[in-house]
Amino acid sequence: MSGARDGEACYRLRGVVRVVSPTFELRIGELDVPRGQVFALLGPTGSGKSTLLRMLAGLESPTAGQLLAGGQPLYDGGNSALGRAATLVFQRPLPIRGSVRTNVEYGLRVRRERDSARRVNQVLAGLRLDRIAAQSAGSLSGGQLQLVALARALVVHPEVLLLDEPSAHLDPAHVALVEEAVLADQRERGTTVIWATHNLFQARRVADHVALVLDGQVIENGPKPAFFDDPRDARTRDFIAGKMVY
Amino acid sequence: MRDWADITIRSLLVSGSATILAALIGIPAGAWLGLMGRGVRLWVRPVVFSLMAMPPVVMGLALYLLLSHSGPLGRLEWLYSVRAMILAQTLLALPFVIGVTMQGIAAVPGELAQQLRSLGANAAQVRWAILREAYPAMGLAVAAALGRSLSEVGAVLMVGGSIAGSTDVLTTAIYQETRSGNFGIALALGAILLVLAWSANLAVAVWQREPAT
């Protein structure tokens, strides 16, 4: 992905279909994800945001269609480079056995990266996890686990950071902490961030670009001002107005 | 008069050796099966679980026929030896080690593999991480194998013969003392057996304890 040309979309999806179950499929006609921006995938629970993120992370392949990452097909029989360029923070993070620190340094260890202690300490401090760094990850609350999951993703300095409701189990102060940490990292390193959220207000706060996902389809997407101030689709207008559109 | 220390040491030697052998064979086998797909486990699991329920006397009978002078392994001259007893207990403990290890690995959430891959782990690193997650199950497998070996009497009696000073172990000695009406001695031997089982399981528990950091 790092070899992609400037101005090129980070991801380009054309006619992508992913059959999830006999009753649900993700179907995206056309979608470009701009590079180096925060792209919010807005939509209710069960709309297909997580499925889309797993495909973009290279963890699940589309049933049909073309998915390009940095101009290259994402599924060409195993694109291992992408696996290390994009990192997905799952909605329900699963820790490995060991301490918070062990979990946070995992990605650096498997990549055999140097200078890991300094980076781990920085990320731990940034997310206020330094005080519980020695604590067993198995003893953490759901909210603390989400912070650890974000920390272990940020520490590997991904080119693309995929976030699946990363603040769903957090109180407002920690939501602010997460948003601050992700946006600071994005500004500093120019990371492409794709942030799935059902929270309209969060999308307004963090995004440069917004897409509305309803019932497995991208209804509308565009730069934040246009999306919120001048939506083209009636369902987008209703969603923004807080009406039930699903 | 029996040498109780000698019997106790022999019990530990037979059951300990059988447990180590069963762990050396069973943990890799159970790990491999656990990492295989659900389809493979669907077929293997009933076989392994059935072997767990095998009566020791049936195993003893099968080994007796194999090791007897006219049997296919008669040339080894293992019948009524400590080696035959270790072999019997290893075969009895093996399904426990394989089954518990396999189930422990299968119980690790499948999504963990995706999460680790997303952090940059390759297939081998993911498999290693899953095995580490199943570490407590492996400890449990070893404890179950040890329990099975220490408490087993039928197979070691058939292939060992409980020859005084040579192949008698705590369980067979309890059996013989009870038959002779020496209930006090039998109870004392039972107490030794319980203490051994408790100590061994405590050691396994300490060994597999998760570090604080």
B57 pLDDT above the threshold of 80? yes
C-alpha–C-alpha distance, residues B22 and B145, integer Å: 7
Contacts of A83 in chain B (CB under 8 A): 117-118, 120
Q: How confident is residue A73, by pLDDT bands cut at 50, 70 and 90? A: confident
In 3-state terms, what secondary structure has residue B54?
A: coil
Q: What is the rounded average pLDDT of the residues B166-177?
A: 94
What does the pLDDT average to over A19-35? 94
Which amino acid is present at B28? P
Any A CB within 8 A of B40 CB:
no
**Looking at chain A, which residue has its C-alpha nearest residue B118?**
A87
Closest CA in chain A for residue B111: A94
Q: How far is B17 from chain A (nearest CA, A)?
A: 30
Q: What residues of B are in contact with residue A106 (Cβ under 8 Å)?
A: 116, 119, 121
Query: How much is the CA Rg of chain A, to the nearest whole Å?
Result: 18
Whether A107 and B119 lie within 8 Å, measured CB to CB: yes
Please give the interface size between A and B, counted as residue pairs whose CB atoms are below 8 Å apart. Answer: 66
- Please indicate if any CB of chain A lies within 8 Å of the CB of B128: no
| SS3 state of residue B122 | coil
Chain B residues inside the 8 Å CB shell of A138: 210
pLDDT band at A241 (very low <50, low <70, confident <90, very high): confident
Answer whether A90 sits within 8 Å of B133, measured CB to CB: no
Q: What is the least distance, in Å, from the CA of A226 to any CA of chain B?
A: 33
C-alpha Rg value of chain B to the nearest Å: 20
Of the residues B105, B111, B114, B115, the best mutation for testing chain A's interface (the one with the most A CB atoms within 10 Å of its CB) is: B115
Query: Residue A105's pLDDT band (boundaries 50, 70, 90)?
Result: very high
pLDDT, tens only, A187-206? 999 999 999 999 999 999 99
For B69, the 3-state DSSP assignment is coil
Cβ–Cβ contact B111 with A under 8 A: yes
Distance (Å, whole) CA B76 – CA B73: 6
Instruction: Say how far apart CA B148 and CA B150 lie, in whole Å.
Output: 6
Q: How far off is chain B from A110, nearest CA to CA, in Å? A: 6
% of chain A at pLDDT higher than 90: 78
pLDDT, mean of residues A44-48 = 91
Q: A238 vs chain B: nearest CA distance in angstroms?
A: 35
Q: Measured between CA atoms, how close is B141 to chain A, in angstroms?
A: 19
3-state secondary structure chain A: CCCCCCCCCCEEEEEEEEEEECCEEEEEEEEEECCCCEEEEECCCCCCHHHHHHHHCCCCCCCEEEEEECCEECCCCCCHHHHHHEEEECCCCCCCCCEHHHHHCHHHHHCCCCCHHHHHHHHHHHCCCHHHCCCEHHHCCHHHHHHHHHHHHHCCCCCEEEEECCCCCCCHHHHHHHHHHHHHHHHHHCCEEEEEECCHHHHHHHCCEEEEEECCEEEEEEEHHHHHHCCCCHHHHHHHCCCCCC
Say how far apart CA B207 and CA A165 lie, in whole Å: 38
Residue of A nearest to B110 (CA): A94
Using the CB atoms, write b or e for A12-35: b if 16+ within 10 Å.
bbeebebeeeeeebbbbeebbbbb
Q: Rounded to whole angstroms, how far apart are CA atoms A58 and A88?
A: 10
ipTM: 0.88
pLDDT: which is higher, A242 or A246: A242
Contact at CB, B120 and A110, closer than 8 angstroms: yes
Its pTM stands at 0.83
Report the half-sphere exposure of A41 (CA within 13 A, side-chain side): 31
DSSP letter assigned to residue B76:
G
In 3D space, the residue among A177, A174, A172, A223 whose CA is nearest the CA of residue A201 turns out to be A172
